């Protein structure tokens, strides 16, 4: 595909177009992904999650600047929730990253959750693959840590940063337990505010309770992202985590698991779509259900025959 | 197949520090089901175009109160064309004298909205004119 060739040469417009194709689930996206898949697997994928306003975008901006100093090419996927009523969204993460706009070694893309079941994680997955193939060394995914779908997206990442801040009311309780469990590196941002030490102690306690016996130490770092304080330590922790994943073989293992999950999910999605188009849309499914109601058939036989038709 | 959503970059070029108008438009477009990328204050034309390209937007909507529209708006349109993104709908809004509008339209600005334009009109314009 011509678009793929352009994207691989670093043309941003082509990269952007490919991501749109994937987001809109156009057929060409699959063609492009087939072509790009062999080139994937080199980027390190960093998830950054935490409550709204905790400083994720500011932090990402600073982390990326530090990685740029070290000569790395970086892409950022900034994900914000869509309005459940209209499907529209205001995506404002670029405001904190406007210095990066003109840097040729950086690509930033804002994505909305588009409110579809599994839709976001799929689009984000694809965007990550596209950017990986295009040679970005690091890919950051910023999401608000609230729902299950966000947890799913963030599972695309190799290293997961969980950001919190002092003064969230119930402090740590505000971070969902699930997110605590998936975090690799914990960041207490806005450490210029009162109470940062207490948040660190609470985190230490909760992580102590959760402690699995793995060799990764789950560092807890204090930062003032808006003043670029503590940023180098976070970058060093990410690099250390990357090396840890490499050395222990965990990276290969996780990526294998992710491929398994991806294939199984795609199979289910495609079958659901096929069944919908084949039976539900033309009304034949309703006729079959009528037979069930009249006890002329049973659900299990019907399932068997639908499956037989789907996989033939 | 998921529907294609209209993506709009709402940008504030120039030096004025007021983004109330931009935010009102951003919300109206979101409420009309569009994806609005807001990129913040005091953006140069180069920054706006870089964001528009990376975000693959269908529309760039700029708002400006400082009076530099005759320079900044056409510059954005020109840079977009240089990037091969001349299919993007470029719109301008803000305090713009009627006498400047023909010049802007000759220079790549599809439509100009002055203060007091109902947001619904902007929404309809985009829906009817997007590529
Ligand atoms: N006091 C303080 N403010 C910060 C810090 N980091 C970010 N902020 C501010 O917090 C606000 C929200 O930041 P943002 O990065 O948009 O948060 P996000 O919603 O998590 O992406 C902005 O006004 C930032 O300037 C910090 O370390 N200290
Ligand atoms: Mg943010």
3-state secondary structure A223-240: CEHHHCECHHHHHHHHHH
pLDDT (tens digit, 0 to 9) for every residue of chain B, 131 residues total?
Answer: 356 799 999 998 887 777 788 889 999 999 999 999 998 888 999 999 999 999 999 999 998 887 888 999 999 999 999 998 889 999 999 888 999 999 999 999 999 998 888 999 999 999 999 98
Question: What is the DSSP secondary structure assignment for residue A81, as one 8-state letter?
Answer: P
Residue from A47, A49, A52, A53 to probe ligand 1 pocket by mutation (most atoms less than 8 Å from CB) = A53
Give residue-wise pLDDT tens across range A297-310. 999 999 998 888 87
Structure tokens at A167: 């003064």
Ligand 1 test: best mutation among A48, A49, A50, A55, most atoms within 8 Å of CB? A55
CATH topology of domain B7-129: Rossmann fold (3.40.50)
Q: Can you name the residues that pair with A112 across neighbouring β-strands?
A: A80
Closest by CA to A125, choosing from A58, A200, A47, A222, is: A47
CA atoms of A147 and A151, how far apart (whole Å):
7
Q: Which atom of ligand 1 is nearest to the CA of A51?
A: 20
Domain positions in chain B: 7-129
Ligand 1 atom nearest the C-alpha of A227 is: 27
pLDDT at A176: 61
Q: Are B24 and B32 in contact (CB under 8 A)?
A: no
A112-163 per-position pLDDT tens digit: 887 654 456 678 889 999 999 999 999 999 988 756 656 676 678 999 999 9
Q: Best interface-test mutation with A: which of B19, B31, B55 has the largest number of A CBs within 10 A?
A: B55
CA distance B39 to B27: 14
The rounded distance, in Å, linking the Cα atoms of A168 and A188 is: 12
Query: Which whole-number Å values give the CA distances from A168 to A77, A97, A188, A195, B95, in the listed order?
Result: 26, 24, 12, 10, 41
Which residues in B lie closer than 8 A to residue A24 (C-beta atoms)? 1-4
A→B interface, C-beta within 8 Å: 12-13, 15-17, 19-20, 23-26, 82-83, 86-92, 94-96, 98, 101-102, 107-110, 112, 114, 116, 119
Lookup: tokens for A150: 């966000």
> Whole-model pTM?
0.92
pLDDT digits (tens, 9 = 90+) for A160-206: 999 999 987 665 555 666 677 788 999 999 999 999 999 899 888 88
User: What is the ipTM, given to two decimal places?
Assistant: 0.94
* Angstrom distance (rounded) from CA A124 to CA A18: 12
């Amino acid at each position: 595909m011509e678009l793929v060739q352009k994207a691989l040469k670093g043309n941003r417009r082509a990269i952007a177009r490919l991501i749109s194709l994937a987001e809109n689930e156009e057929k060409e996206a699959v063609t492009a992904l087939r072509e790009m898949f062999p080139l994937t697997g080199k980027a390190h994928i960093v998830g950054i999650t935490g409550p709204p306003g905790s400083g994720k975008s500011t932090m990402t901006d600073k982390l990326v600047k530090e990685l740029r100093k070290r000569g790395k090419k970086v892409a950022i996927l900034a994900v914000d929730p869509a309005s459940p009523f209209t499907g529209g969204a205001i995506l404002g993460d670029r405001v904190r990253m406007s210095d990066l706009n003109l840097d040729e070694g950086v690509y930033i893309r804002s994505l909305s959750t588009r409110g579809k079941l599994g839709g976001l994680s799929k689009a984000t997955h694809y965007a990550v693959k596209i950017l990986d193939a295009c040679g970005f060394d690091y890919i950051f995914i910023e999401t608000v840590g609230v729902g299950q779908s966000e947890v799913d997206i963030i599972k695309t990442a190799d290293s997961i940063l969980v950001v919190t801040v002092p003064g969230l009311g119930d402090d740590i309780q505000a971070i969902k337990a699930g997110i605590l469990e998936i975090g690799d590196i914990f960041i207490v941002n806005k450490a210029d505010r009162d109470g940062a030490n207490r948040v660190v102690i609470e985190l230490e306690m909760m992580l102590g309770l959760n402690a699995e016996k793995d060799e990764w130490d789950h560092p807890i770092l204090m930062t003032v992202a808006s003043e670029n304080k503590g940023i180098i330590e976070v970058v060093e922790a990410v690099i250390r985590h990357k090396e840890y994943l490499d050395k222990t073989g965990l990276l290969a293992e996780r990526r294998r698991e992710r491929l398994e999950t991806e294939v199984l999910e795609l199979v289910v999605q495609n079958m659901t779509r096929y069944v919908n188009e084949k039976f539900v849309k033309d009304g034949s499914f309703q006729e079959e259900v009528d037979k069930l109601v009249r006890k002329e058939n049973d659900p299990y036989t019907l399932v068997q025959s639908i499956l037989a038709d789907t996989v033939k | 197949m998921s529907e294609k959503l209209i993506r709009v970059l709402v940008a504030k070029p120039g030096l004025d520090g007021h983004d109330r108008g931009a935010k009102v438009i951003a919300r109206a477009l979101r409420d009309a089901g569009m994806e609005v990328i807001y990129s913040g204050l005091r953006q140069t034309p180069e920054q706006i175009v870089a964001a528009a390209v990376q975000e693959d937007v269908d529309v760039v909507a700029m708002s400006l109160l400082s009076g530099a529209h005759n320079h900044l708006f056409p510059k954005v349109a020109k840079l977009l064309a240089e990037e091969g993104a001349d299919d993007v709908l470029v719109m301008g809004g803000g305090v713009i004298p009627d006498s400047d509008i023909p010049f802007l339209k000759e220079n790549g600005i599809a439509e100009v909205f002055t203060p007091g334009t109902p947001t619904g009109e902007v929404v309809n314009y985009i829906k009817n004119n997007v590529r």
